[in-house]
Amino acid sequence: METKRGIFITFEGPDGSGKTTQIRLLENELLSRGERVVLTREPGGTPISEAIRRLLLDPANKEMDAVTEALLYAASRAQHVAEKIRPALEAGAIVLCDRFMDSSIAYQGYGRGLGDDVRVINEFAVQGTLPDITFFMNLPAAAGKRRAEERADLDRLEREGTSFHEAVYEGYLQIARRCADRYVWIDASQSIEEIAARILREYDAYVLARTDDK
């Protein structure tokens, strides 16, 4: 019998919006239900992609050109999809990914001002592997930056100025409106428990609708 394709869920949002906390809570809940779950992140997720991640996020790499940055993200993503995400989906797993293609469009397309070229190179990189649901952790740029700065180990992009992060946030708003069919807006200013409960309700509703469509 043919294996039913898995579900591809991404978490997006500005730095400091609480994505990592929520993705782990959803993973724990799904594992407790006996689901097969693959948790991963971007940039990264495979040895090659993690090596590229270190290049991208190292604060020492101040000379990195914006186009170089965008192409490295796309290269990391291409390997990630080919080696890990697509095989997991074909095997019927639920893939939870901390950031995906929308992050590049927001950070490099809007934040770096590279425009629609970023979407084009990433569509080539992912070869049709796109999220089924995206949980957008909606938190204004200033609030997210304050949260991120509470950590001591800020990466190269987290160290960018306020205007960059505001452009990224505006990019996310534009993407969320354009991709309303898969985007779920989450008020990231709520408590961890409230956010987790909302995400789980939305996930269950999606699975129910998916089952009814079969």
Q: What is the pLDDT of residue 152?
A: 64
C-alpha–C-alpha distance, residues 192 and 177, integer Å: 24
Q: How many domains does one find in the chain?
A: 1
Q: How far is CA 169 from CA 107, 188, 202, 208, in A?
A: 9, 13, 23, 31
Is pLDDT of 1 > 80? no
Closest CA to 47 of 10, 79, 88, 78: 79
pTM of the model: 0.93
**Residue 156, in any domain of the structure:** yes
Beta-sheet pairing, 37-41 with 94-98: parallel
Note whether residue 117 is domain-resident.
yes
The enclosing domain of 140 has a CATH number of: 3.40.50.300
Domain that holds residue 58: 7-213
Of 31, 29, 54, 27, which Cα lies nearest the Cα of 43? Answer: 54
Q: Are 144 and 17 in contact (CB under 8 A)?
A: yes
State pLDDT tens for residues 70-128: 999 999 999 999 999 999 999 999 999 999 999 999 999 999 999 999 999 999 999 99
